[in-house]
Structure 1
Amino acid sequence: MSLKKTRVFFLKQERQYHEHCCVPMCTSSSKFNGVLSFHGFPRDVQLRKRWLVNIRRDKFTVTAHSKVCSLHFTEEQIIPPKTAVGKRQLQKGAVPVLFQWNDYSIPSPRLSVWDRVSTPEPSAGDEQLMDCTPAADHDYSSVPEPAFLDTAVDKHMQLEEKIDALMKEIQELKLLSTFGIERFAQSDVNIRFYTRFPSYRQFMIFWELVEPSVHRMVRVSRAKAAERMNEAVTSVRPTHMRQSLQPIDELFLFLMYLSVGLKEQDLANRFNIHTSTVSRIITSWTNYLYTLLGSVSIWIDAEIVKAHLPDDFKDFPDTQVIVDCTELKCQTPSSPLLQSEMFSTYKSHCTMKGLIGIAPHGPVTFVSSLYEGSVSDKELFRRSGLADLLTEDMAVMVDKGFLITDCVKCKVYCPPFLKKSSQMPAPSVLLTQKIARLRVHVERVIQRVKENKLFDSVIPLSIAGSINEIFAVACLLSNYQNKHLAKAWVK
């Protein structure tokens, strides 16, 4: 045998004779240390898996030469040899527990995830130890370590927070895509624009007044709406449209129709409903508010009026109501007879004419029905029925066109006429100025009512059957939507 082959033979024998520990970061070998004992992996599958997990080599392929030295076992786990030359054995079920990464000390029992404290910051020595990373075949145990579980809990909490944030964002986007009162809850400017109420809070106060009886509303049926709109009852409804709205959104839709003057098709597109549904909502809420608000008496007793009489009326202390007329332009009817009756020489157009009365401190206390535009102020006052509410101890303040002295039993404050004189006397001028300065407040209230954009355009004859109710509702709503006419009048 040659010298080279002889050397290879002895090297193989030497490798087979010497044993090495397979635990990461352990360099123990029987060649340099005859005191240590080396133990093979158990045959039991579960026990062997526990060995691999503890030594952090769960992906390690176990062979007959794979050994774990006695440094990784406690003294209680090792059985001393019976003879001086005997080998040390392991107790049944023994598992290696002492390693370099736990300073060869017995680890404390593992706590539950919820009982653990935060992991302390690593020291300089620990950082150096962490740099000694084992070989790539180690996956550091298939059983999660405490630090890993803590990290998992933190990640889980972060995911929950992210989910909550995304859900909130989805709700906000859904709210923005849905046209309703809640969309503008944070914007009093938009609430004022769409509803004439000064703020969302005041709108909700009004809603609390009408909500208890909403369920008793008599709604217009689809058949009547179809007949009114001259459309078939069996019209096809797109599947993407909503079938109904919440009652508060129905009120919001009606106020938009009245305040902004939006057309039914525009409202249908905004609320994603059918045009016939918009028509039914408008008609139903017109009748409902006309009945509900009209059931509350707005006529104020003379004692209450005097108790709230502004100082500006000290020269007219018995004034009960200030009245004036207003006209709404309407579509010209095809009938020449109706045209002649509805034509107003003042507006040079076909109009509908109504009378509004307010108390001296500002609220609307009387609303008449609408009549043809050709009727005179005196005739309208006589038809309205206001004269029946006035007694001898009251007084009514009117403009020059109301020649109603012979129609009422009470006093009438009216600006004097020039008569046959070439110049009005000084007392008459002062009286005219005083009455004009106080009577202007009824014109301001009428302006508030006509700020509803529905009355800006020409009223179509298709809603002539409900225009009386709409006009009355607009006048009654002005008592809820507006503040006092003059701050000085507030007591």
Structure 2
Amino acid sequence: MVHTCVVAGCKNRRTPGTALSFYRFPRDPERKRRWVAAVNRAGWAPNDGSRLCSTHFISDMKEPGALEILDKQEARVEAANALLFLQGQGSSAAVGPSQGGRHEKEAPEAAVEKSGSSSFSTDEDEEHDEASERDRKKGKFAQMSEISVKFDDILKALKKENRALRESVEKMALSENAFRNDAEKVKFYTGLPNYFVLETVMWLLAPHMDGMKNTKLSKFQQLLLTLMRLRLDLRNQDLGYRFGVKVGTVARTVHRMVNIMSSTLVPTAVFWPSRAELRKNLPTALRASHPDCAVIVDCFTVPLEESASTGMEHGQQETTLPRAEGMAQSHSSLKYLIGVAPQGVVTFVSRGAPGSVSDKSLAEGCGFLCKLLPGDVVLACRDLDIADSVAARGALFKIAGKGEARARSEGSPGPDATSETVVVQRHVERVISMVKQRYNMLTGPVESPFSTACERTSNLSTFDKIVQVACALNNLCISAAPLE
């Protein structure tokens, strides 16, 4: 059906392919009255076939979105009209000009009119379409909100997982924060009792480390690497993997740090106390039996690697210590004399001598006897064959428990002789072995790079300095408990 605009003077008609839209008069009485007034035709009333073309509408006269919806619906109606019109022509050509053909031609128009009527009949239909559109948009917004909530939950979970991973990595990292609040970790890797002691050592050494150029390792990591080398006796390759550096960097770091600690930490922590300090703090267990005890001594040996002992055969390490008669030319160990105050701290440690040297030669050549004063008592848990050398300095060498054993053999043991002997012997053994147990590197074997003398002026090898440093660190540990 061809519609013509009812506005006076308007000749617009709806034909196939036109861009104009034609609108049915609304059924709402008020809206219909306004439309009739806009047509401005006196005494005129619209019927079901009356239409207004889109050229007489402005956007302000229609609800937002309604014109677009009507245009789409009108376009669909026009497409259906064209299709039915073509179908009607095909039927007319087949049937011929007859009454039946005219009936078929009118049927599509009726169908189109019905379709148009159903599309534009009432305001309720338009409001229903707008409500459906709003519901559809609300549904989309709701779906997007749900997706946003899911993304927020996933983001929170990822952040939580990220924090957990960071904390895990931080705990495994060899950094200051990883040791700050973990005393057990400090004790395991460094031998020191807690982070406060480790921080104190770092504070003492830091000013002397300024000249060390190492871009990959911080000052703390250089100290930590060296302490782990002494404490756990880890190989350089292992430490290189742990700290992410080359083996050569590990070796240079250990040698430099040992030199710094030997010149800085050892004089501070390993020293011979005055007689007044010794007697003032003498443990109760020794106060009655050995009130003049100045030091407890013993000797220990550390095996050498085969390459190190072979090097010593060829004179790679020279020593000023006198050789014992008949001493073997091949040396398979290093021997050290260590002195411990009755309170449990190391007060003296000698430089290394060939393992076959006698105790007397070691004591006379290491400077230990120069520390003694007349009247001092040197206590040991076994015979070291240094009694004559000690007596020459006006001091007295005693073996713990020897006098009590002689008294028991004569049948007159003291009431507490046995218990006192056991206590003293256990104390001596515990203090002497404390350093070696705390720093496994002292159990050997000594690698050849550490056994050669690095400073001819002091005739000290790197391993000699390591032993001294281990004794100094031991003195900083609370676990080196005094005898009670």
Distance 1:133 1:445 in 2: 94
Counterpart secondary structure, 1:251: helix
Report the CA distance shift for 1:467/1:137 in structure 2 as closer, same or farther (over 3 A): same
Distance 2:28 2:138 in 1: 27
Contact 1:264/1:275 (<8 A) preserved: yes
> Secondary structure at 2:132's aligned position in 1?
coil
Q: Is the 8 A contact 1:254 1:282 kept in 2?
A: yes
Map 1:8-407 to 2 at 5 A. 17-19=24-26, 30=28, 43=58, 52=64, 61=69, 63=71, 134-136=131-133, 140=137, 161-162=156-157, 164-172=159-167, 174-175=169-170, 178-180=173-175, 182-183=177-178, 188-198=183-193, 202-211=194-203, 213-217=205-209, 244-296=216-268, 298-313=271-286, 314-331=288-305, 332-334=309-311, 336=313, 350-398=332-380, 399-401=382-384, 402-403=386-387, 404-407=389-392
Give the C-alpha shift of residue 246 in structure 1: 1.9
CA–CA separation in structure 1 for the residues paired with 2:344 and 2:359: 22
1:333–1:186 CA distance, 2 compared to 1 (3 A):
same
Change (3 A) 1:410 1:64: closer
Q: Please state how far the C-alpha of 1:276 moved relative to its aligned partner.
A: 0.7
Any idea what SS the aligned residue of 1:250 has?
Answer: helix
Give aligned-pair identity as a percent: 21
- 2:475 paired residue number: 479
2:310 alignment partner AA = P
Taking a change above 3 Å as real, the CA distance of residues 336 and 370 of structure 1, as seen in their structure-2 partners, is closer
- With the length of structure 2 as denominator, give the TM-score of the two structures: 0.60
> Does the aligned pair in 2 maintain the 1:258–1:454 contact within 8 Å?
yes
Q: Secondary structure at the match of 2:268?
A: coil
Query: Which residue of the partner structure matches residue 445 of structure 2?
Result: 458
Q: What runs of 5+ residues in structure 1 fail to find an aligned partner?
A: 1-14, 20-28, 67-131, 223-242
Indicate the structure whose relative CO is greater, using CA pairs within 8 Å and at least 6 residues apart: 2
State the 1:197 CA deviation: 2.7
Q: How many pairs align?
A: 365
For the structure 1 residues 444 and 262, does the alpha-carbon distance in structure 2 shift closer, same or farther, using more than 3 Å as the test? same
Structure 2 residue aligned with 1:108: none
Larger-gyration structure (1/2): 2
Superposition deviation, residue 249 in structure 1:
1.8
Code of the aligned partner of 1:454:
M
1:155: Cα distance to partner? 8.0
- Aligned to 2:466, which of 455, 467, 470? 470
Take 2:61 and 2:361, find their aligned partners in 1: how far apart are those partners? 111
Contact 1:181 1:252 in 2 (8 A): no
- Structure 2: stretches of 5+ with no match in the other structure: 1-21, 39-53, 75-128, 452-460
Secondary structure of the 1:354 match is strand
Task: Tell me how large the CA RMSD over aligned residues is.
Answer: 4.8
Write out per-residue CA displacement over residues 55-105 of structure 1, whole angstroms, 9 at most, x where no aligned residue. xx6995465999xxxxxxxxxxxxxxxxxxxxxxxxxxxxxxxxxxxxxxx
Give the TM-score taking structure 1 as reference length.
Answer: 0.60
How many angstroms does 1:209 deviate by?
3.8
The answer to whether the 8 Å contact 1:342/1:372 transfers is no
The CA distance in 1 between the partners of 2:357 and 2:226, in whole Å, is: 30
Q: Which has the higher helix share?
A: 2
Q: Sort the Cα spacing of 1:334 and 1:215 in 2 relative to 1 into closer, same or farther, 3 A.
A: closer
Q: Which amino acid aligns with 1:323?
A: V
Question: Are 2:302 and 2:333, in contact at CA under 8 Å, matched by a contact in 1?
Answer: yes
- TM-superposed deviation, 1:161: 4.3
The one-letter code of the counterpart of 2:163 is K
Shift of 1:455: 2.6
